[in-house]
Amino acid sequence: MTLPAVAAPLLGLVLAACGGTRPATLGPTTAGRLAPCPESPNCVSSYDTDEEHGIAPLAFSGDAARAWARLQAAVADESRVEVVTQTERYLHAEFTSFLFRFVDDVEFLLDEQAGVIHCRSASRVGRSDLGVNRRRIERLRAALRQPAEPPP
């Protein structure tokens, strides 16, 4: 067997392993919150308060159902995303990186009374994400702020 013939399957196995296993801690906790970030710097959450992991929830005014629908549409418009779970208050999506196929778990939890959508975005493997999770949440925040298009 030639080196390329051996290297291609091995590379495929390595890249497939980059996806990691879906964490068992996903979804709202019994306290009605999203799980805290691990110690690694590759996670942001609106429930965390430290500088490294903390990020503001997505604020909205007006109709909560409309804000939730707009967020769902913004998530669906992203590249390489698969919505895994979607309810009236909770959304879990998996975002896969283009090159190495790393998977990030992104969660949202609607808090109608507070007028916010809590968020958590975490890489499954590795230590650093080079700020990808924070930038993703900020991009979705910006999409949520865009004026809604009038119905046709």
SS (H, E, C) 55-120: CCCEECCCCHHHHHHHHHHHHHCCCCEEEEEECCCEEEEEEECCCCCCEEEEEEEEECCCCEEEEE
Query: Number of structural domains, the chain?
Result: 1
Residue 67 inside a domain? The answer is yes
Residue 41 inside a domain? The answer is yes
Strand partners, 114: none
- Mean pLDDT, residues 12-18 taken together: 43
Residue pLDDT, tens place only, 27-76: 999 999 999 999 999 999 999 999 999 999 999 999 999 999 999 999 99
62 vs 120: CA distance, rounded Å: 23
100 vs 18: CA distance, rounded Å: 7
Residue 79 inside a domain? The answer is yes
Structural domain boundaries, residue 139:
36-145
- pTM across the whole model: 0.83
